[in-house]
Every structure is written in C-alpha cells, then in structure tokens.
Amino acid sequence: MPDPRLKRSLRATFLGMVVNTVLAVGKMAAGFIGQSHALIADGIE
C-alpha cells in the first residue's frame, strides 16, 4: 500500500497540472476572441 503522504502529494501535483492546463486554455481562448497575440503567447507559455 502506498504511503498516504505520497498519495496526497501526487493528488496535489496532478490537480495543479489540471488547473494550470485549464487556465492556459482559457488564456488562449480569450486571446483568440480578443485578438490579443500577447495573451495567446502567455497561454502557450
């Protein structure tokens, strides 16, 4: 059985990855809608 601390750490890591991906996609979508090259680049970065 995995260590509970390891399990919590992995869950937090994956949750952070999902949240960052959602924010990046949102930035890119807003950049496309607003025709902002800077916002699109920020979303890609």
Please report which confidence band the pLDDT of residue 1 belongs to, taking 50, 70 and 90 as the band edges. Answer: low
The span from the CA of 23 to the CA of 7, in Å, is 24
Tens of pLDDT, residue by residue over 6-37, are 999 999 999 999 999 999 999 999 999 999 99
Does residue 2 have a pLDDT over 80?
Answer: no
**Which pLDDT does position 32 carry in this prediction?**
96
Please report the pLDDT score of residue 38 as a whole number.
Answer: 96
Report yes or no on whether pTM surpasses 0.85. Answer: no
Which pLDDT score, from 0 to 100, does residue 34 have? 96
The CA distance from 31 to 2, in Å, is: 42
